[in-house]
Amino acid sequence: MDTSRLRELAISDAGFVFDPTTGHTFNVNATALLLLRALKENAGSGRMLTDLAEAFEVDHEHDLARDIEEFLSQLREHGLIR
Amino acid sequence: MAGLTIPQPLGRGLDTLLRPYSQVIFSRSRVSGALILLAVATSPHVAVATLLAVAVAQTVVIVAGLGVDAARDGVHASTAVLTTLALAYGLGAPAPALVAVSAVLAVCVSAAVRMALSGGPAAPLSLPFVISAWTALLASRVLPGATALAPAVWPIESWIASLGASLSWLDVPAAILFLPSAMAGLLLLSAIIWHSRIAALLALVGAAAAALTRIVFRHEVGWSDVDLTASFNATLTSMALGGVWFVPHPSSILLAAAGAMLTCVVTYALLPVASTWSLPLLSLPFAVTTIAVMYAMRLRQQDRSPASAPLANRPEDALSHHLMRVRRFGEFAWLPFRLPFRGPWLVTQGHNGAHTHKGPWRYALDFEIARPDADLESIRGGELADYACYGLPVLAAGSGTVDSVVDGVADNPINGLNARDNWGNVVVIAHAPNLFSVYAHLKPRSIRVKAGDLVKAGVEIGRCGNSGRSLVPHLHFQVQRTAVLGSETVPVDFGDVIARTNDRATLSHRVIPAEGAVVRPLVLDESLAQLLAFPPGSIWELRSDDNQTVEIATVDVDLWSRRVLQSSRGRLYVEPYDSGLIVVAFEGDRDSLLSMIRLAMTRVPFDQEGDLTWTDRVPRHLVWPGAEMFIDVAAVVAPGLTDLELTLTSHRTENAVTIDGDGGAVKTRLVISTGGQPHVIDVQRGETRRRVTLRRVPGDREENPK
Amino acid sequence: MKPPYERPVIVRHQVGGLNKFGAQPAIRVYDKFECVPVADLVAQYGSPLVLFSERVLRERFRELRDQLASRVARFTIAWSYKTNYLGAICRVLHQEGAWAEVVSGLELEMALRLGMPGRQIIFNGPAKSDADLDLAFREGAHIHIDHLDEVALAERVAERRGVRPSVGLRVNMTDLPVPCWDRFGFNLENGAAMDAARRIAKRGRLNLTALHVHVGTFVQERDAYELAACALAKWARQLREELDVHIDTIDMGGGFASRNTLQTQYLPGEQASPSLAQYADSIVTGLELGYAGQELPRLVLETGRAVVDDSGVIVATVVGNKRLTDGRRAVVLDAGVNILPTAYWYRHDIFPAQDVHGTAEPTVFFGPLCMNIDVVRDRILFPSLKAGDRVVIARTGAYNVTQWMQFIAARPNVVMVSPTGEHSIIRRAESLETLLQQEHMPAWLA
């Protein structure tokens, strides 16, 4: 997974993301923000899982691994990771 | 009235003979007439004279073409009877020729006076009698061999001499017949009591008032015939004012007492006048006072407490007519006014409203349309066409003649105001000589009537606009005493008004819409109207639920355009009008199937609403059998205690409209079938419950109902 | 306290979509239906669930009735059974005073079975059989004749029954700002209608007393009604003068648009569709123009979706989520076009039935059918949902319970909630038994 482009993104604490290469702007919610930051530091899925679980109140209905997977595919969609 | 069935020719003959006697106390009852004839018969030769007078008078009435009905009514002949009684008392034994001629004179005078006073508020009362008796007495003085001049006042001594005992109260009624006999007085009193208990009560009131007046004016003086004359006149006045010309009510009793006292005073006043011609006063004070009071009462602002009774009858009939019809539904042309529009409108300013309905114009109403999902405030501003009521039809609130029309004033824009043409385009309709309705702020060139047009209630007269002193489109409505715009307004009730509050639709039949209420008139349900039209000639079958009893009723129309359902056991009077049906009266056997209908069907509105609620107040003695004789009197003295209040709710299904009535101990249910089945009536009184089915029998004149 | 977890989402800003600070448009949560919690209703009656509000139904009908009441003295509103012929729905409307408008022998029998007297039933439709007409005449129903063969058939049946029924003629018009439905009735402009009237008047077996026009369906162009009413009124007067035919009823049909939004429509239905007041206004204005001051005959309106659409919703449960290749999120529901055929016509509003968190993103809602066309809503901004969440699809009252399919899944319970909060099934869910009891295995396959 190539997360190099992530470094170019401007990410605000409020969840606003600006991609200077394409000029696109995005919104992310709090969980996505945490994941983005983790990805920028080249974190693996394991670390992302634990980060999420520590930072947020998760109830057992949510399948975190699947959500992370889906989020990664969203990022791929938008061309932010490869 | 009586349960006896008498063959018609005999009955007619009896009427012709007895009614002249009963009309002395304004009664049409044969029994009362017979009692009075008996009273007269206490002086046999006088009785013979009166019989002669009746025969002559009735012959004249028929031969002169006044009509057989007039003869059966006995009114003209009763003048002849009284004239004969006066002659008999004044002349002792009048010659038959004199009696006969006086009878002819009496008929002539009676007819003439009746004709002269027709159309006014007063009735002739005893004026024809007084005029013809005076004429006869004066004329008798030129007859050869006439006995002594009729005394101006009949000396009390001769009265006492014939009695041989001290005076009793019975002399007062006896004096009505000019007969010096306690027995006559007793018989006359019985005739009054038989005819009407309320009249008997009023007679008592009159006598008591006269006694009081005597105490005030003449307490030092001994009893004389002035007092006798005053007393019997006062009694007659009291009966007339308290229950015949005004609906019996505590206020009418007060009026009766006051009238009685006035009569005494008038008697004292007229005494010297009459004695200059040596004429007896007879019952002139009664006639003069009563007629004067009736004219004076006409100027009242509102005809209530006491209400005038248009069909002068037995007091019980006047009372029941008032309670069953006028109090519930208004007298004027079937209903009080109707709402002058269709569909639900909001009353934005009511009587004594905060903005412009003040002072002489306080009894006015402003109407606008309420939108279902927005209050009026949120739609202020914008164009005229944005306002839901702009351009909607405005209807005549009552039948009448258009008095004046103003058209050609332009609509104001929203929030504009035209203070110069205050009323804008306006129509004034005359309903009676002193009753006019006003419809203002109409749309220019939308008025479709002109001065002089006859309009019926509900006909479109124009469209709602925004002309004149109007900021937003609305209808301004008021009723005035004169045709001049801006004159004093009077409060009037509206009939058949449905108000919707909190999902309940309530029907009121005499109401002044309050500010903030959403009101609408009835929307005709044609199938109900057709089912309950009771067309004349139709035949209806009533069946008890065990199928053991069947009554057949045919529908006829009476003189007052009421439908009469006549069965072998009774008569039910109903009045269907264009938006409903009301039951007015019932005569006959209260255990019959026909009588059950009047309880369940007191009022049926022909409206399309699914669930409707209304109340009705029915005098209890017309509802409960037994003891009617004396409940009538109780109803006069303490109205309200004798009323039955019913709450009625209607409910619809596909093929029926069910009306449930709850009156506490009495519960009713009427199921009107719209699907061709018989209608069902259930009445529950206390523990007993009865059911009747009603269906129209096909094969009468109208087309076959399904 | 840690903040609650929500699924991570990244949403790209589109022109015309969210504003650039990503502010959420307010999403209404539909957790109560007429004060009864949706969750309780689903727990009791299952999912998917078709719900009807008696209160809204009565209110919409009363609104139409009030609008007509303020304009005309005599009118009748007939309920179009083909829009929704569930007994409970029809009963509510009949209690409010509505007649029945039926378009087939089957619907006629339905109305009669409910207890409607024949005199309060209007029978339209181009395909009335001999038996249908026989039943109609026997019960006194009013028929509106569609074509000349029906005239002939009606005359034969009337002759056989020995009656002279009052009938109406259905008319279509070309000169209206809406497409002409010339497949129904007789055309006015080319004289076909006059010919039919002449034929009926001449034979005399039928009594022509009513005229009927139905300008279209979901008609948002209210001038069409004004023009049609005016033309019909003028023709009624012409019939009186030329043929001495007395028309006592003018039936302006229905076709009033509800507040749903058509698929191709830009403005939402609440803004684009005329109100009931505006329809009533156009119709009465047209009639008054046509009658030029004469007294109006009785006006009949046949209403369907304008009255019932708002009163019905469908509650569905989320079965799963997926992400489509174009970035849209897709949600699969247990209700699809099998029970919501109106999804083909409308962009139904959809609301979550429980509290929501998370960013709203463009979402497509699919149904449970294994068919590509099964799309409940193509694109709607919606917050995130998980399997088991419920949604409420709004304004589903019209045509769904009459046109729904028995396809792939069994049709669910239909429940009505009263103004006081009572609720009851008005049509039981179907099951395998329901299907199988109609089948018959031929002998050679047994």
Q: Per residue in B516-550, pLDDT tens?
A: 888 999 888 888 888 898 888 899 999 998 888 89
CATH classification at residue B663: 2.40.128
Predicted confidence (pLDDT) at residue B666 exceeds the cutoff of 90 = no
> In this structure, are C260 and C318 located in the same domain?
no
Could you tell me the pLDDT band of residue C224, with boundaries at 50, 70 and 90? very high
* pLDDT in the model for residue C25: 52
Burial of B373 (0-12, 13-18, 19+ CB in 10 A): exposed
> In this structure, are B484 and B626 located in the same domain?
no
Q: Look up residue B334 and give its two tokens.
A: 């079937």
User: Computed over its alpha carbons, how large is the radius of gyration of chain C?
Assistant: 25
The residue assigned the tokens 């003891």 is B627
Q: Do A31 and C20 touch (CB under 8 A)?
A: no
> In this structure, are C289 and C401 located in the same domain?
no
What's the CA gap between B653 and B88, in Å, rounded? Answer: 73
Query: Best residue in B523, B524, B607, B652 to probe C by mutation, most C CBs within 10 Å?
Result: B523
* pLDDT in the model for residue B705: 39
* pLDDT in the model for residue C320: 93
Is C442 a member of any domain?
A: no
> In this structure, are C78 and C200 located in the same domain?
yes
Q: Could you tell me if C112 and B655 are in contact, meaning their C-beta atoms sit under 8 angstroms apart? A: no
Are B and C touching by the rule of 3+ CB pairs within 8 Å? Answer: yes
Per-residue pLDDT tens over the stretch B488-525: 888 888 888 999 877 788 998 888 888 888 899 988 88
Q: Look up residue B517 and give its two tokens.
A: 């209420």
Q: Do A27 and C6 touch (CB under 8 A)?
A: no
Burial of C293 (0-12, 13-18, 19+ CB in 10 A): exposed
Instruction: Find residues 66-125 of chain C whose CB sits inside 8 Å of chain B.
Output: 66-75, 91, 94-97, 114-120
Phi, psi of B646 (to 5 degrees): -110, 135
Residue B431 parent element (H or E): strand B425-432
Burial of C420 (0-12, 13-18, 19+ CB in 10 A): exposed
Of C9, C21, C327, the CB nearest to A28: C9
> In this structure, are B430 and B571 located in the same domain?
no
Could you tell me the pLDDT band of residue C252, with boundaries at 50, 70 and 90? very high
What's the CA gap between B153 and B224, in Å, rounded? Answer: 10
Q: Which domain holds residue B607?
A: 526-696
Instruction: Find residues 316-335 of chain C whose CB sits inside 8 Å of chain A.
Output: 323, 327
The overall average pLDDT reported for chain C is: 92
What's the CA gap between B604 and B529, in Å, rounded? Answer: 10
What's the CA gap between C48 and C337, in Å, rounded? Answer: 12
> In this structure, are B412 and B386 located in the same domain?
yes
Could you tell me the pLDDT band of residue B573, with boundaries at 50, 70 and 90? confident
Helix (H, G, I), strand (E, B) or coil at C77: strand
Predicted confidence (pLDDT) at residue B3 exceeds the cutoff of 60 = no
Q: Do A35 and C8 touch (CB under 8 A)?
A: yes
The whole-angstrom distance between B344's CA and the closest CA on chain C is 6
* pLDDT in the model for residue B5: 62
* pLDDT in the model for residue B109: 92
CATH classification at residue B380: 2.70.70.10
The whole-angstrom distance between B621's CA and the closest CA on chain C is 36
Could you tell me the pLDDT band of residue C16, with boundaries at 50, 70 and 90? very low
Mean pLDDT over residues B339-350, rounded? 90
Is C377 a member of any domain?
A: yes
The whole-angstrom distance between A4's CA and the closest CA on chain C is 18
Could you tell me the pLDDT band of residue B685, with boundaries at 50, 70 and 90? confident
Q: Do A16 and C21 touch (CB under 8 A)?
A: yes
Omega prior to C297 cis, within 30 of 0: no
Is C444 a member of any domain?
A: no
Q: Which residues pair with C416 in a beta bridge?
A: C52, C424
Per-residue pLDDT tens over the stretch C345-377: 999 999 999 987 777 888 999 999 999 899 999
What's the CA gap between C104 and C119, in Å, rounded? Answer: 16
Query: Best residue in C54, C66, C284 to probe B by mutation, most B CBs within 10 Å?
Result: C66
Share of chain C above pLDDT 90, in %: 78
Predicted confidence (pLDDT) at residue B692 exceeds the cutoff of 80 = yes
Query: Best residue in A27, A45, A58 to probe C by mutation, most C CBs within 10 Å?
Result: A27
CATH classification at residue B20: 1.10.3430.10
Q: Look up residue B681 and give its two tokens.
A: 């009536």
Question: What's the full length of chain A, in residues?
Answer: 82
> In this structure, are C248 and C339 located in the same domain?
no
Is C445 a member of any domain?
A: no
Q: Could you tell me if A25 and A19 are in contact, meaning their C-beta atoms sit under 8 angstroms apart? A: yes
Q: Look up residue B18 and give its two tokens.
A: 């007895």
Query: Best residue in C68, C70, C90, C295 to probe B by mutation, most B CBs within 10 Å?
Result: C70
Could you tell me the pLDDT band of residue B74, with boundaries at 50, 70 and 90? confident
What's the CA gap between C396 and C259, in Å, rounded? Answer: 11
CATH classification at residue C364: 2.40.37.10
> In this structure, are B551 and B635 located in the same domain?
yes
> In this structure, are B95 and B25 located in the same domain?
yes
CB atoms within 10 A of CB B144: 4
Phi, psi of C18 (to 5 degrees): -65, 155
Instruction: Quote the pTM value.
Output: 0.74
Range from A44-53, B97-106, B667-676 carrying the lowest mean pLDDT? A44-53
> In this structure, are C164 and C205 located in the same domain?
yes
What's the CA gap between C282 and C395, in Å, rounded? Answer: 25
Is B674 a member of any domain?
A: yes
Of B342, B525, B674, the CB nearest to C73: B342
CB-CB neighbors (< 8 A) of C13 in chain A = 24-27
* pLDDT in the model for residue C411: 95
Q: Do A26 and C10 touch (CB under 8 A)?
A: yes
Per DSSP bridges, beta strands A16-18 and A25-28 are: antiparallel
Q: Do C95 and B610 touch (CB under 8 A)?
A: yes
Predicted confidence (pLDDT) at residue B683 exceeds the cutoff of 50 = yes
> In this structure, are B133 and B262 located in the same domain?
yes
Outline where DSSP puts E strands in C295-374: 298-303, 312-323, 329-333, 350-352, 361-366
What's the CA gap between B38 and B91, in Å, rounded? Answer: 21
Mean pLDDT over residues B649-677, rounded? 90
Q: Look up residue C184 and give its two tokens.
A: 């129904």
The whole-angstrom distance between C46's CA and the closest CA on chain B is 31
Q: Could you tell me if B74 and B20 are in contact, meaning their C-beta atoms sit under 8 angstroms apart? A: yes
Which segments of B413-508 does DSSP mark as H helices, in order? none
- Out of B562-571, B619-628, C24-33, the most confident range is B562-571
The overall average pLDDT reported for chain B is: 82
Q: Do B343 and C67 touch (CB under 8 A)?
A: yes
Predicted confidence (pLDDT) at residue B365 exceeds the cutoff of 50 = yes
Amino acid at B428: V
Q: Which residue of C has its CA nearest to A53?
A: C5
Q: Look up residue C202 and give its two tokens.
A: 């001449």
Query: Best residue in C2, C6, C9 to probe A by mutation, most A CBs within 10 Å?
Result: C9
What's the CA gap between B603 and B536, in Å, rounded? Answer: 19
Instruction: Find residues 360-419 of chain C whose CB sits inside 8 Å of chain B.
Output: 419
> In this structure, are C378 and C232 located in the same domain?
no
Apex CA B649: angle with CA B655 and CA B598, to 5°?
85
In total, how many domains does chain C have? 2
Mean pLDDT over residues B141-149, rounded? 61
Give the neighbours of chain C: at least 3 Cβ pairs within 8 Å: A, B
Q: Which domain holds residue C134?
A: 54-309
* pLDDT in the model for residue B300: 80
Query: Best residue in C2, C11, C14 to probe A by mutation, most A CBs within 10 Å?
Result: C11
Per-residue pLDDT tens over the stretch C110-147: 999 999 999 999 999 999 999 999 999 999 999 999 99
Q: Do C5 and A59 touch (CB under 8 A)?
A: yes
- Out of A71-80, B270-279, B539-548, the most confident range is B539-548
In total, how many domains does chain B have? 3
Mean pLDDT over residues B330-347, rounded? 75
The whole-angstrom distance between C136's CA and the closest CA on chain B is 14
Q: Do C2 and A62 touch (CB under 8 A)?
A: no
DSSP sequence for B364-379: EEEEEEPBTTB-GGGG
The whole-angstrom distance between C289's CA and the closest CA on chain B is 13
Outline where DSSP puts E strands in B136-184: none
* Residue B443, CA atoms < 13 Å, CB-side half-sphere: 17
> In this structure, are B533 and B619 located in the same domain?
yes
CB-CB neighbors (< 8 A) of C5 in chain A = 31, 52, 56-59, 62
Of C309, C333, C358, the last residue of a domain is C309
CB-based contact, C20 to chain A, within 8 Å: yes
> In this structure, are C255 and C368 located in the same domain?
no
Burial of A43 (0-12, 13-18, 19+ CB in 10 A): middle
* pLDDT in the model for residue B619: 67
**Among C75, C288, C73, C59, CA closest to B338:** C73
For chain A, the residues whose C-beta falls within 8 A of a C-beta of chain C are 15-17, 24-32, 34-35, 52, 55-59, 61-62, 67-68, 70-71, 73-75, 77-78, 80
Q: Do A55 and C2 touch (CB under 8 A)?
A: yes
What's the CA gap between A71 and B7, in Å, rounded? Answer: 108
Q: Do C22 and A70 touch (CB under 8 A)?
A: no
CB-based contact, C1 to chain A, within 8 Å: yes
**Among B624, B634, B558, B562, CA closest to B590:** B624
* pLDDT in the model for residue A64: 83
Of C8, C12, C327, the CB nearest to A71: C8
> In this structure, are B165 and B280 located in the same domain?
yes
Mean pLDDT over residues C279-297, rounded? 93
What's the CA gap between A9 and A25, in Å, rounded? Answer: 10
Domain ranges of chain A: 4-77
CB-CB neighbors (< 8 A) of A35 in chain C = 8
